[in-house]
Chains A and B, each alone.
Chain A
Amino acid sequence: MRSKSSAERRRGIALHAALFPLALIWLFPLWMMFVFSTLPENGIFSRDIILTPSDQFVENFNLLESDTGFIRATTISILVAAAYTFLSVALTSMAGWSLACYRFAGKGVVLATILGTLTLPYFVVVIPQFIMVARDFGLHNTLFALIVPPLFNSLGVLFMRQTFSMMPHELFDAARVEGVKEWRIFLFIGLPLARPAVAALSIILFLHSWNNYLWPLLINSKPAMMTAPVALGSLIGLTKVSWGGIMTGAVMLTAPMLVLFVALQRHFVAGISAGAVK
């Protein structure tokens, strides 16, 4: 027993010794991003590499705000990401539920089509999507165009379908025998039991929207409708690149996501691994 625990401890130390440098390598760019966000422009490009933060964060932020309206852009990003997450979770959950719980003609075809869309690279879709939304529907420069077109998420549908498929269907049959309507079974039994999966999916979808650059860049040309990543991108000009502003913006976009991920990590891991083991 004693030798086993000491062997385990040795294995733990070896594992940590191997992982620690990897963690440092992973964290180094993040740290440097933070350091750069606190340096003046000449500090970022000094001959010596500065590894410790300075005191120019507020100045850099003011520069960022005056150049891009970063607060407004972040507000739009939050609004878009929240609405997108809510609507996409609702949509993918309902689609997953119907694919998991009902028998209907053409179900296999629907499932295969959803699976098939996974094989299409986004860059194949984005131009036709842009033409349809901007030219045919005339919806460019609207919140609707930012939120709705990317709503359907086939990976999310398959994830939720798997989650609902693994639930004991006797629970739903029991409710049916009790005369509970199908949408209430979904809302009051299926969805609460899928909470870890919903939490994990919400984080993934929120991050997806938060980091989305290409679609908001294409669909919105007005500065007033820019999302935060697009606002940051606009700092990269032909003649001048405001690195201090970009790094400050990057820190401000990354920090809340890190906090969110750490806070919801338990749900995230539980959701991803749900059903993997009994």
Chain B
Amino acid sequence: MAAVSLNNVVKKFGTMSVVHGASLEVADGEFVVFVGPSGCGKSTLLRMIAGLEDISAGEIVIGGRVVNDVEPAERGIAMVFQSYALYPHMTVEQNLSFGLRMNGNDKADTQRRVSRAADILRISELMHRRPRQLSGGQRQRVAIGRAIVRNPQVFLFDEPLSNLDAELRVQMRVEIARLHKELGVTMIYVTHDQTEAMTLADKIVVLRAGNIEQIGRPLDLYDDPNNQFVAGFVGSPRMNFMAGTVVENSSSVVTVKLANQGGALLRKPLGGPLPAIGAAVVLGVRPEHFGLAGRGDSDITVKVDVAEHLGSTSYVYANAGGGEELVIEREESRHEASLDRMTVSLRATHTYLFDSAGLRLR
């Protein structure tokens, strides 16, 4: 087990910078998830930790040792790839033992490690099959097994579940969480699926365009995002955003007029500097934070487009004019599906205010 530190890590391809000074601390035994949209640099960051990409500037420390110039195999890491990267011409057993055999590891020890990994992942009966004879989930297990046999200090996962169907993805997610609990090693996991991030992580690192936007525990990010991007990225369905204008600011309270919501006014207390009158702001509301009409600080009326009934809850997709589409979560009440319009309330304490640059106003 080992802690991992990234100090101002930069990655450039030619003159193009793709990671702009990432700094991060991963504690020993922690499960950290890098999450962000495609092209945000999360896989590049992981490959730099693995040693598969050189870093252009900065420092990577694993287990107290600077590893900038250390070969991947010497870093004490093991990596699971998105495509599984199983050697197609070898059996499962040969896949698991390949690295150890090539490095001249003792035969008995290799056998013992392979058996242990197979037991942990329940793939003992698949040992003589080739990758093409395995299902997606089994292949993923073998790929994880290949990482386990190395007894790494740090596991690196590069979108390991993205090739699986929805059901298997949930199953494997649980398996990975179990594995983390069982092995207790540091794990760094890359995904673009925020549900995976929320369910697996001790700590989430949200990336955008090569920058770390926010680092925190899943619920901290959910409850207290630093900016509009994080607020929108974490949570499913995503946070609703409504354009507004500050019409009054006094005594640590701003009044925001929501032009696209029939000019509804919401008074929101803020602790920091208040935006100027006339400033454009964005009000964020999570789908579950819309209340029943008349029960909050301000009401808005929206036109219902579609309602999705999921059993215990339903999601109402509503159009409020000005191109703003809202998703409203309600406890299951089927009669709302037939409504053309509905009125919901906003509660100031359950809203988030962002300035025109997307930064949170607290």
Question: Interface range on chain B: under 10, 10 to 19, 20 to 34, or 35 or more?
Answer: 20 to 34
Contacts of A174 in B (CB 8 A): 79, 81, 85, 87, 146
Please report the C-alpha to C-alpha distance between residue A170 and residue B156 in the assembled complex, in whole angstroms: 14
The B242-263 residues at the A interface (CB cut-off 8 A) are none
Interface-side segment among A38-46, A146-154, A184-192: A184-192
| Contact between chains at A177 and B87 (CB < 8 Å) | no
Decide if B102 is an interface residue (CB 8 Å cutoff).
yes
Please report the C-alpha to C-alpha distance between residue A180 and residue B98 in the assembled complex, in whole angstroms: 9
| Contact between chains at A179 and B87 (CB < 8 Å) | no
B47, B89, B102: which contacts A192 (Cβ < 8 A)? B89
Contacts of B50 in A (CB 8 A): 173, 177
Interface residues of A, CB < 8 Å — how many?
Answer: 17
Decide if B150 is an interface residue (CB 8 Å cutoff).
yes
The A190-230 residues at the B interface (CB cut-off 8 A) are 192-193
Decide if B103 is an interface residue (CB 8 Å cutoff).
yes
Please report the C-alpha to C-alpha distance between residue A174 and residue B160 in the assembled complex, in whole angstroms: 13
Chain B 134-169, CB-CB to A under 8 Å as 1, else 0, gives: 000000000000100010000000000000000000
A170, A179, A192: which contacts B103 (Cβ < 8 A)? A179
| Contact between chains at B77 and A189 (CB < 8 Å) | no
| Contact between chains at A193 and B88 (CB < 8 Å) | yes
| Contact between chains at B71 and A179 (CB < 8 Å) | yes
Contacts of B79 in A (CB 8 A): 173-174, 177
Contacts of A170 in B (CB 8 A): 81-83, 85
Please report the C-alpha to C-alpha distance between residue A180 and residue B52 in the assembled complex, in whole angstroms: 13
Chain B 91-113, CB-CB to A under 8 Å as 1, else 0, gives: 00000001110110000000000
| Contact between chains at A180 and B103 (CB < 8 Å) | yes
Contacts of B150 in A (CB 8 A): 178
CB distance from A11 to the nearest CB of B (A): 34
A binding-site residues for B, Cβ under 8 Å: 168, 170-171, 173-181, 184, 188-189, 192-193
Q: 10 more A-B contacts (CB under 8 A) besides A177-B77, A180-B103?
A: A168-B83, A170-B85, A173-B52, A174-B87, A175-B98, A175-B102, A176-B52, A176-B71, A181-B102, A192-B89
20 A-B interface contacts by CB (under 8 A): A168-B85, A173-B47, A174-B81, A175-B99, A175-B102, A176-B71, A176-B72, A177-B51, A177-B52, A177-B72, A177-B73, A178-B100, A178-B103, A179-B72, A179-B74, A188-B98, A188-B102, A189-B87, A192-B89, A193-B89
